[in-house]
């Protein structure tokens, strides 16, 4: 847990040392002031702030009590006894916190913080797939909305997807909605992949082969943009670069990267290794966050791809969330109860 009792001057100096190259002095002073106010109000209200690894560096370094990937933050939400829970991440993450904490208030600083993966599939799509493949267990990536989770058997995150799939001991598994994550997990677990999509009629012999994974055509709008040539170009200029790719990147990328894992796994990989240069193929704020926390590491700043949804969460919005108790995330009891089973099954797998 990160302590958040720094004074304005201490916060300003802390930010200046770590982020002085990113922001003007004036911006740093404004951000320090906002961070101090968020922390004061957080302590006054007994709130907990959870911050995803993609948060803007000034926010990420100053206000979350816990930082992490989707799995870590879900676990923290399950463990906390603080109220409200302020989720500095995107909507599906805040919804998951509400699903496992129905009695607590969960606040999301901006309702604009969506996700292209969560938007790619509906509960009706899952029901249709179940009809098409009766009896086949359904795994859903945590990057989905609560009504979709409610139709599924178990959730997973990028950190435990292969483990969750293996835990089912099933020959055929439906894995939704990220096509690239499904392809990566199918390769890792030795499965043949079939990609379904809205309105595509069943293919008669789809599941006649052994060990099949049925995916969906969802994509992350950030990670789908990385291309194998990006890695080749960088390796020509920096032959000893270590490339890390999130598993939402295509298999063409993850197969030639040096490492692929969740945001937390990537941070740990950089912490535990000593390469001359690192290239992160993921949301660009994470590179800045690693650089600020591990200043001895050299991160190449070549691809500035940021997630527009994560960018919606700012220090200003977080302060307003605490001041005005907004935006309260609600999930109906009927959906919550069914979705909770899928989330709890995942937490039991670990």
Residue 117 touches ligand SF4, criterion: CB under 6 A: yes
Kindly indicate which of the ranges 9-17, 120-128, 156-164, 330-338 contains the residues binding ligand 13P, using the contact rule CB under 6 A. Answer: 156-164
Q: Does 153 bind ligand 13P (CB under 6 A)?
A: no
- Report phi then psi at 247, rounded to 5: -70, 0
Written in H, E and C, the secondary structure of 10-22 is: HHHHHHHHHHCCC
- Identified binder of ligand SF4 from the candidate list 62, 143, 160, 262, rule CB under 6 A: 143
**What is the rounded distance in angstroms from the CA atom of residue 131 to the CA atom of residue 52?**
36
Three-state DSSP state, 335: helix
Site for ligand SF4 in 281-300 (CB under 6 A): 283
Residues 51, 296: Cα–Cα separation, whole Å? 23
* Binding status of residue 116 toward ligand SF4 by CB under 6 A: yes
- Pick one of ligand SF4, ligand 13P, none as the site partner of residue 254 (Cβ within 5 to 8 A by kind): none
Binding residues among 196-255 for ligand 13P as defined by CB under 6 A:
220, 246, 248
Q: What is the C-alpha separation between 93 and 108, in angstroms, rounded?
A: 9
In the bound state with ligand SF4, the residue whose beta carbon lies nearer, of 164 and 222, is 222
Separation between Cα atoms, residue 175 and residue 152, nearest integer Å? 10
Q: Which does 157 bind (CB under 5 to 8 A by kind): ligand SF4, ligand 13P, none?
A: ligand 13P
Sign of CA dihedral 292, 297, 301, 306: negative
Q: Which of ligand SF4, ligand 13P, none lies near 53, with the C-beta cut-off 5 to 8 A by kind?
A: ligand 13P
Query: Counting contacts by CB under 6 A, is residue 257 touching ligand SF4?
Result: no
- Across 96-240, the runs of DSSP E, i.e. the strands, are 106-107, 138-141, 154-156, 172-176, 192-195, 212-215
Q: How far is the CB of 248 from ligand 13P (least distance, A)?
A: 5
Contact string 216-245 vs ligand SF4 (x = CB under 6 A):
----xxx-----------------------
Instruction: Considering the complex, state which of residue 220 and residue 245 has its C-beta at the smaller distance from ligand 13P.
Output: 220
Q: Give the count of beta carbons closer than 10 Å to the beta carbon of residue 262.
A: 23
Check residue 289 for interaction with ligand 13P (CB under 6 A). no
Among 263, 285, 317, 318, binds ligand 13P (CB under 6 A): 263
| 3-state SS, residue 174 | strand
DSSP assignment of 82-118: -SSEEEES-HHHHHHHHHH-TTS-EE-S-TT---TTG
- The one segment of 5-13, 17-25, 154-162, 200-208 that binds ligand 13P by CB under 6 A: 154-162
Q: Least Å distance between CB 17 and ligand 13P? A: 26
Per-residue binding string, ligand SF4, 24-53, x by CB under 6 A, is ------------------------------
CB of 91 to ligand SF4, least distance (A): 9
Three-state secondary structure readout of 230-283: HHHHHHHHCCCEEEEECCCCCHHHHCCCCEECCHHHHHHHHHHCCCCEEEEECC
Q: How do 241-245 and 277-281 pair as beta strands?
A: parallel
Q: Is 90 in the site for ligand SF4 (CB under 6 A)?
A: yes
Question: Rounded to the nearest whole angstrom, what is the least distance from the CB of residue 93 to ligand 13P in the complex?
Answer: 8
Q: Which residues bind ligand SF4 (CB under 6 A)?
A: 90, 115-117, 143, 220-222, 248, 283, 307, 309-310
């Amino acid at each position: 847990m990160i302590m958040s009792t720094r004074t304005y001057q201490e916060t300003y100096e802390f930010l200046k040392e770590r982020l002085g190259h990113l922001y003007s002095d004036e911006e740093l002073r404004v951000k320090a002031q906002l961070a101090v106010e968020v922390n004061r109000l957080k302590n006054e209200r007994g709130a907990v702030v959870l911050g995803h690894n993609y948060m803007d560096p000034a926010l990420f370094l100053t206000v979350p009590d816990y930082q992490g990937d989707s799995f870590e933050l879900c676990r923290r939400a399950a463990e906390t006894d603080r109220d409200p829970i302020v989720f500095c991440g995107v909507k599906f993450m805040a919804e998951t916190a509400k699903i496992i904490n129905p009695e607590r208030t969960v606040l999301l600083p901006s309702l604009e913080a969506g996700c292209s993966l969560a938007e790619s599939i509906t509960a009706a799509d899952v029901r249709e797939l179940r009809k098409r493949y009766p009896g086949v267990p359904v795994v859903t990536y945590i990057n989905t909305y609560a009504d979709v989770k409610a139709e599924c058997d178990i959730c997973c995150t990028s950190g435990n997807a292969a483990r969750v799939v293996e835990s089912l001991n099933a020959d055929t598994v439906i894995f939704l909605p990220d096509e690239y994550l499904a392809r990566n997990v199918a390769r890792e677990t030795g499965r043949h992949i079939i990609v379904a999509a809205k309105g595509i009629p069943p293919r008669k012999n789809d599941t006649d082969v052994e060990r099949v994974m049925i995916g969906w055509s969802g994509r992350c709008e950030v990670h789908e943009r990385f291309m194998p040539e990006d890695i080749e170009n960088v390796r020509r200029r920096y032959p000893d670069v270590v490339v890390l790719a999130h598993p939402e990147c295509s298999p063409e990328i993850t197969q030639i990267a040096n490492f692929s894992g969740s945001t937390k796994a990537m941070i740990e990989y950089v912490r535990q290794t000593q390469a001359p240069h690192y290239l992160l193929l993921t949301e660009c704020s994470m590179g800045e966050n690693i650089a600020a926390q591990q200043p001895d590491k050299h991160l190449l700043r070549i691809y500035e791809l940021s997630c527009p949804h994560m960018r919606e969460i700012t220090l200003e919005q977080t302060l307003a969330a605490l001041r005005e108790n907004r935006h309260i995330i609600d999930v109906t009891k009927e959906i919550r109860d069914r979705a909770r089973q899928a989330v709890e099954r995942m937490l039991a797998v670990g």
